[in-house]
Each structure stands twice: as C-alpha cells, then as structure tokens.
Amino acid sequence: MVDNNWINIILSRGLRLTGVFLTLTLLAGCVFLDYIPWLQPEEVTQEIEETASDTVLRLAFAGDTMGAGKVAPILEEQGYMYPFEEARPYFEESDLAMVNLETAMSDRGDAEDKAYAFRTHPDFVKGLDWAGIDLVSVANNHSLDYGVVAFLDTLDELQQHEIGYVGGGVNAEEAYREQTYEVNGQTVAFLGFSRVLPDVSWYAREDQPGLASGYQEERIYQGIRQASASADLTVVYIHWGNEMELEASDDQRRIAHQMVEEGADVVIGAHPHVLQELEWHQGKLIAYSLGNFVFTMSHEDIGRQTAILQLEIDAEGGQKATVSPFRIRHGAVWEAKGEEREEILRRLQTISTTGEWQDHVFYPR
C-alpha cells in the first residue's frame, strides 16, 4: 500500500514543475515575439504612418510684393530687411520660397501712363535676399511700369543676388521657360504667366523683352506639359482674376483645373489683392489668390489681411497646406495673433471646402 504522504509530495512537485515549465514557455514566447516585427501590428502601423508623413519638400508662397508707394519712405527710414522681419523664419525653414514681385526695381525709366505705376529702389532686392526668397514671378501688370530699361534693371538685380525669376525675360524664350531647382533629390519646375497685362506691347517676343502672357491658354498648357515631362513637381504662379473679389471666378476655376490636368502639381494665384479660397483638385493644391504681401496700404481692411502658404509634399507625392495668417501694417507684414488670426482662418475655412481643416492646416479629402 502506497503512503498517501508520498503521493501528495509527488503531485505537489509535479504541479510546481509544470508551472515553471509554463512560465518559461511564456517568457520565451514574449522574447521571441520581440524579434518578429510583423507580429506587432500597433508598432508597424505607427511606423507606416510616420514614413508616409515624411516631408520631402516644403515650399513657401506669398502674394504681391513691392516697396513703392507709401511703403517707399518707410523702407528708406527702417531699411529693406524691415518688412520681412516676422516672415523670414517661414521662408528660411522652407526648401524654396516664392513671391510675386509686383514692381520694377530700378532708379531709371519713365512712368507708363496708368493709374498706378510702381518703381522700387534697387536695394529692395537685398531685403528679398535676406528674407530667404529664392525666386519671384515677374508676370504681372506692374513689372514694366517704368519701361523696358527699368525691367531689365530688375532682372539684373535679381541675377546679381541669385534670386530666380519666371514669367518674364529678355525675350520670349526666357519669359516662357521654366525655372528648375534640384532639392532633396527632387526636380522642381516653376512657371509664371499673367492674364492681366495693360497692352500687347508688354508681351515678350522673339527679340523683345517682356512678360509671359497667360491670355493664350494653350500656351500655358503647353508650357506645363513640357515642364512636367522632366520634373517631379511643377508649380505655376499666375496673375489673374478680379481685384477685391473674395472668391475666384468660374473661369479661373476652369483654367486652374485644366492646368492640373495638364500636369501642374501646384497652382498659385495673385492680383485680386485679397486672400481667396484654397482648393484641392485631383489631390493638387490650387490657391486662387494669396492677396497682398509687402504692399502699399489698401483702403479696405480685408486687403490688409494676408498669409504665408507652406506646402509640404511627402515621399508619395501627397500634399498638405499650412496657412500662417499675417497682417500688413506700416509697410511690413506681421504675424496675426488672437482674434485677428482666427478671423482670417475662419474666412478661408468657410470658402475652402474641398478638403479638411485642422486649425491652420488644410488636407485633401
């Protein structure tokens, strides 16, 4: 007959051994799982999201920029860096920054017979350079306000400070040609056109300095097709629309959509002197008007509201737009804060409805 005490001891030790074995098995399993990334879905998801959101390019854009009119005496007193003091960090942190240069930069030439003729001191280019502006569009209705001689001075000043330009040139070939940059392994092409020109004499021709006309739509589309064929990203900066209109016209929308369908990845507009809506079309950003930037004082408060638009492009070509509101005051642009900032964003959010807003960031749907 077996002693019951021995049975109890054997069972007790067996259970303890089984427990130890199970514990070791579980521990080994945990260690094993640590070395198999595909068995950890939460970490993999986070890694994919971080990779997908990696920014390959950051571009910055602002609107109509000049140092003439009421701005001129302020800049003479304060210096040519002054108007960009609070804007500079936004341009500097971007890979490329661009504005619409709506003036001649020269001390020569005679004013055209028009209501407003703008000519800015040549030293204004030093402010653009200091601010971190990499290129400008000269395709607008003021670049030739003081004739060809002042326009050529403008191009010379830009070249001397290594600031690129599109939308104008010493002849048609240069005016309609894209400006190309290699950034972070990406080829970025920029084009400029104007659908607001005082006279056909402002058109660049084979042997005549001037601007890239945007009135001939097929020429715009041809330029986009040519540029996009060899570029990873194609940007069109276009002067168009109606002054002080708060939203783009149907004609602007039609042309903007066609530009995207022809190969433009970004369309930036100017001329209305107010901020107009942002739109996503086929996942590409259209900013119909960025309004005034460093500019002579507007008679209407809404014309003194502006913004810097920063566009981020990820490795898959996805885009998101960040809007940083500014206020034009005393010949310069200053960051809008508090209720003023919220007012600018509320208006843009109300009229920009093709994407999703998260505070001041606009995402495509």
The gap from C-alpha 218 to its chain's centroid, in whole angstroms, comes to: 25
Question: Is the pLDDT assigned to residue 43 strictly greater than 60?
Answer: no
pLDDT at residue 125, rounded to an integer: 98
What tokens does 294 get?
A: 């460093």
* Banded model confidence at residue 322, pLDDT cuts 50, 70, 90: very high
Average confidence score pLDDT of the chain: 89
Residues 283 and 319 sit within 8 Å (Cβ to Cβ): yes
- Mean pLDDT for 20-25 is 40
The per-residue pLDDT for range 97-107, each reduced to its tens digit, is: 999 999 999 99
pLDDT at residue 321, rounded to an integer: 98
Domain ranges of the chain: 4-48, 56-364
First to last CA, the chain: 82
The per-residue pLDDT for range 176-199, each reduced to its tens digit, is: 999 999 999 999 999 999 999 999
- CATH number for 56-364 (one of 3.60.21.10, 2.60.260.20, 3.40.50.2000, 3.40.190.290): it is 3.60.21.10
What tokens does 326 get?
A: 């500014």
- Measured CA to CA in angstroms, residue 279 lies from 32, 86, 94, 118, 357 at distances of 49, 27, 21, 31, 12
Contacts of 192 (CB under 8 A, 6+ apart): 137, 138, 139, 165, 166, 167, 168, 212, 236, 237, 238, 239
The DSSP call for residue 201 is G
Question: Is the pLDDT assigned to residue 39 strictly greater than 90?
Answer: no
Distance, in Å, from the CA atom of 125 to the CA atom of 130, rounded to the nearest integer, reads 9
pTM score: 0.85
Contacts of 360 (CB under 8 A, 6+ apart): 322, 323, 324, 325, 345
Residue 198: closest CA among 272, 255, 144 = 144
pLDDT at residue 296, rounded to an integer: 86
What tokens does 214 get?
A: 């945007």
pLDDT at residue 9, rounded to an integer: 39
The gap from C-alpha 156 to its chain's centroid, in whole angstroms, comes to: 25
- Mean pLDDT for 82-100 is 98
- How many Cβ atoms from other residues are within 10 Å of residue 66's Cβ? 26
pLDDT at residue 75, rounded to an integer: 97
- Measured CA to CA in angstroms, residue 181 lies from 19, 47, 101, 178 at distances of 67, 31, 19, 10
